[in-house]
Amino acid sequence: MLERDSLTVAAAQIAPVWLDRDATVKKVAAWVDKASDAGCQLVAFGEGLVPGYPFWIERTNGALFNSPVQKELYARYVDQAVTIERGHLDLVCESAVANQITVVLGCIERPDDRGESLFASLVVINGRGQIASVHRKLMPTYEEKLAWAPGDGNGLRVHSLGAFTLGALNCWENWMPLARATMYGQGEDLHVAIWPGGSSLTRDITRFIAREGRSFVISAGGLMRRSDITDSVPHHAEIAAASGEFLADGGSCICGPDGNWVVEPVSGEETLVIATIDHARVREERQNFDPAGHYARPDIFELRVNRKRQTTVVVEE
């Protein structure tokens, strides 16, 4: 392995301090430090980790219209969501630059210009501590639609990281062929998929993307235990009573560009899932199939992507 081709990467499989933004941000920053201490240049965290995934919806009759329970829980969610322009992720940015490590972080974003609506956003923070991109999930899945608004294409971007080109998608976006093709077409060869947590989510798709993209794939899953539902959360007793020991059990894993496991899914514990990967393996596997290269046929197929950030007001002076 040539030194210039190698990169040490990690999925940080942790639980949030559920529905507590500031405490979860502090925990994320501490795990960024841990990943750096382990020699990593990249660390990824699960979907919606700050301040947590909306696990209450399926446990408290979330589709009941005009429910006081749902209103109270949503109001708490909005209050604890991340507004990037207000500096809510500054502590993570400081940890990234102090450690010269790239961070991929799932958070629930409340932009200043979109009222009280929330987006499941994937934030890439580079080793200079800069927020390089914010990708708002294109389509919330099933009950997520009761908490999150659909996003846009603005964050469908890739980033250079050593010999690699890094791209990332949220949860079931990874099943969207055109979303994957957008990343491949920008040169992605290191893909990060972030999830609320569970090997049932990560076991098949991680290997599939790796083989299709001839890329390394990191699946970063969150963890959520019944014991993480504290009495500071509205209706905590009802949510806990409807939950098993795990609401999300992780499933973080890493796969090589031939579709074989580098690290198989890890479940049920807070941990760093770490591997040192070699870009030469990408080049080897793309000898016979390259989805954005000699197999792309741009004379036949063309994909157009709108990366304009959605906003409801355009002011012209």
pTM above 0.75, yes or no: yes
Active-site residue, from 27, 47, 107, 253: 47
In a domain, 293, yes or no: no
Q: What is the CATH number of the domain that holds 159?
A: 3.60.110.10
Classify residue 223: in a domain, yes or no.
yes
Structural domains of the chain, count = 1
Q: What is residue 134's predicted lDDT score, i.e. its pLDDT?
A: 98
Pairing of strands 42-44, 190-195: unpaired
85 is an active site residue:
no
- Measured N-to-C along each axis, helices 199-213 and 177-185 cross at an angle, to the nearest 10 degrees, of 50
pLDDT of residue 3: 67
Dihedral sign, Cα of residue 208, residue 216, residue 93, residue 16 = positive
Task: Give me the domain span that covers residue 239.
Answer: 3-285
Is residue 27 annotated as a catalytic residue, yes or no?
A: no
Residue 171: active-site member: yes
pLDDT reported for residue 15: 98
Residue 221: predicted pLDDT: 98
* Residue-level pLDDT at 314: 87
| Domain assignment of residue 303, yes or no | no
Indicate whether 22 belongs to any domain.
yes
List 93, 107, 171, 255, catalytic entry: 171
Q: What pLDDT sits at residue 2?
A: 63
Q: What is the mean pLDDT of each run of 10 residues along the chain (317 residues)?
A: 85 98 98 98 98 97 96 98 98 98 98 96 98 98 97 98 97 97 98 96 97 98 96 95 96 98 98 98 97 94 95 89
Report yes or no on 29 lying in a domain: yes
Residue 307 within any structural domain of the chain: no
248 in a domain, yes or no?
yes
**Residue 162 lies inside a defined structural domain of this protein:** yes
Burial class (CB within 10 angstroms; exposed 0-12, middle 13-18, buried 19+) of 26: middle
pLDDT the model gives residue 227: 96
